[in-house]
Structure 1
Amino acid sequence: MAVDKMIWKIFLDILVLACVGVPLLVLHLLVEPYHRGYFADDESLKLPYKEQTISEAILAGVGFALIVVTVVLIEIVRDKQGKGVGEKFLSGSLISGWLWESYTAIGVFAFGAACQQMTVNSAKYVIGRLRPHFFDVCKPYTTADLNNSGYIQDFSCTNTNAAQLKDMRLSFPSAHSSFAMYTAIFFIFYVQVKGRWRGSKLLRHGIQFAVLIAAWYVGLSRVVDHMHHWSDVAVGFAVGALYGVIVFVYILKPKKYGLPGTWEITQPEILPRPVLSR
């Protein structure tokens, strides 16, 4: 019966993940973003087009690789130290406890990443904010009187590249910044709770800071590359950080890992009884 429950749990996990991932894929492939207009004198939309420093594929690959390697290494070490959950039965076979714990943590991270990306990308398509390189990519032309029209919504683009014309409307918020910060916060919390090593007081915190700075750099690169306005990056950071905290605290539930403080319910310390005065 226990085996059936574990298989059923894995099946439901995959189904729930697909329920978030498939709509995200449909959004990218089939949905057209809102066609927002522009002001002819808007200087924030007149920056030149640049190739992005960090692509979506590289960011996703590095982010997931970082979490997978970190989780697996920490769980193997904890299992060797006798701090793991012990072996589990799956389809009549024993599997190591570190493998099951790794599957749980990586699965939760992937689910949170999908939800976080669905949140920011749905906002992109609903709002349709133009990227800073809008004029350079679109090269718009219109029959409206630019001196009297003010806000221009009826226009066409000289550029005929459909992919670029769609992407130029997906500025707010920054999905790169959101995923980078989500990954950094999840990594920092995971290492803080489970990656304990007494060999150095600052090594763990130094690694955490390095990952946070890497996420910070991802956001800054989006502004430097003229892919986003600074406010797009700021909101992306906020959404990613919020999802990182919520997913780790309320889905992965760190209290079972022995994190001190309000996340763990412990027995009150028994103080020695005072020596009775003679």
Structure 2
Amino acid sequence: MIEKRVYRKIAIDVVSVCVLAVPILVFITVMKPYHRGFFCDDESLMHPFKEDTIPTWLLGVIGLGLPIICVLTIEALLTKTNKGVILPKDVLSPKIRPYLERCYDIIRVFIFGTAATQFLTEIGKFSVGRLRPHFFDVCKPNITKCTSTLGYVTDDVCEGTDIKKILHARLSFPSGHASISIFCMVYLMVYLQIRLKIQGADLAKAVLQVVAITLAIFTCLSRISDYKHHWGDVLGGALLGFAVCVLVVWCLSVLVPDVSLQTILLSISGNQMTHYRRTHQESSESQGSEGMDGLTGVAVNN
């Protein structure tokens, strides 16, 4: 019976992620972005084409890999030292099972949030069709057909031969690098704040959080310096990633019991654990043992 519940849960999770992943593939392989026009004297579109400082593959490796590695490592340490949240009795055997289920519950939310962020990003890109700062460099508009006297140009005047680059140059808003990097690193920051407990070494945890957000900010800034996005595209992507992270942790989090939006925002500001311990203690005193039948215990660090 337990195995069936586990397999059913995994199947539902996979289907849920695929519901978001399949449209992303459709956007990338089939759809064409909105054909936005331009002014021939628009200097914001005249920047040179440059290679990515942070290529997409590196964003995926660090953005997805770093949080997952941290979860696997920290949960292993918490399980070994018996400081993690204990799972219900029927899943305590064998010994490795609580660790695997705990990691799965945290990582599945992270993967779903990443897919949701990318899905919303693609909708924005293909719906808005904003031109990248290097659009003219890859479009190579016909000079005779593109003069300032023509005003707003909506016709196809591009003479560039790389059709893929031209289409890609119409996907500036919002920045996918910004949305994904901010989501992944903010999620990692929240996870570290809630789960990583280093007695007498709080600054060590803060250093890890600073490193995480620095990676995200550097990625965002590189998109501007590489002329891949306008600053507004990066800001929009960053806000999108941050908003999805807050909502995902708020609605789906298993990091702490009964997590609230206020708790998440406080964790991002660095004050979450103090607030959680106070509110959890107050709720425990008022509710007594009610609602604790499904847990064998909760580890408490002072």
Question: What's the TM-score once normalised by structure 1's chain length?
Answer: 0.89
The secondary structure found in structure 2 opposite 1:202 is helix
Q: Deviations over 1:56-83 (max 9, x none)?
A: 1110111111011100111111111213
Q: Hey, what does 1:219 align to over in structure 2?
A: 220
Q: Hey, what does 2:102 align to over in structure 1?
A: 101
Q: Hey, what does 1:65 align to over in structure 2?
A: 65
Matches within 5 A, 1:129-140: 129-140=130-141
Matches within 5 A, 1:80-91: 80-84=80-84, 85-86=86-87, 89=91
Q: Deviations over 1:96-130 (max 9, x none)?
A: 21111111111110100000011011110011000
Offset, 1:149? 2.2
Q: Structure 2 vs 1, CA of residues 257 and 208 (structure 1 numbering), >3 Å: closer, same or farther?
A: farther
Offset, 1:221? 0.2
Gaps of 5+ in 2: 260-272, 287-302
d(CA) in 2 for partners of 1:143, 1:73: 61
Q: Hey, what does 1:272 align to over in structure 2?
A: none
Q: Is the CA contact 1:142–1:155 (under 8 Å) kept in the aligned structure 2?
A: no
Matches within 5 A, 1:1-278: 1-84=1-84, 85-86=86-87, 89=91, 95-141=96-142, 144=145, 146-256=147-257, 261=275, 264=280, 266-268=283-285
Amino-acid identity (%): 34
Q: Is the CA contact 2:91–2:98 (under 8 Å) kept in the aligned structure 1?
A: no
d(CA) in 1 for partners of 2:76, 2:145: 66
d(CA) in 1 for partners of 2:146, 2:218: 42
Q: Structure 2 vs 1, CA of residues 105 and 88 (structure 1 numbering), >3 Å: closer, same or farther?
A: farther
The secondary structure found in structure 1 opposite 2:6 is helix
Offset, 1:254? 3.5
Gaps of 5+ in 1: 270-278
d(CA) in 2 for partners of 1:52, 1:131: 13
Q: Is the CA contact 2:38–2:154 (under 8 Å) kept in the aligned structure 1?
A: yes
- Please say which structure displays the higher CA radius of gyration: 1
Question: What's the TM-score once normalised by structure 2's chain length?
Answer: 0.83
Q: Is the CA contact 1:124–1:171 (under 8 Å) kept in the aligned structure 2?
A: yes
Q: Which has more helix, going by share of residues?
A: 2
d(CA) in 2 for partners of 1:159, 1:145: 14
d(CA) in 1 for partners of 2:101, 2:34: 43
Q: Is the CA contact 1:74–1:195 (under 8 Å) kept in the aligned structure 2?
A: yes
Q: Deviations over 1:125-169 (max 9, x none)?
A: 011000000111101127657343210011331111121011100
Letter in 2 for 1:31: M
Q: Is the CA contact 1:88–1:97 (under 8 Å) kept in the aligned structure 2?
A: no
Letter in 2 for 1:268: E
Offset, 1:219? 0.4
d(CA) in 1 for partners of 2:120, 2:234: 14
Letter in 2 for 1:181: I
Q: Structure 2 vs 1, CA of residues 105 and 239 (structure 1 numbering), >3 Å: closer, same or farther?
A: same
Aligned pair count?
Answer: 268
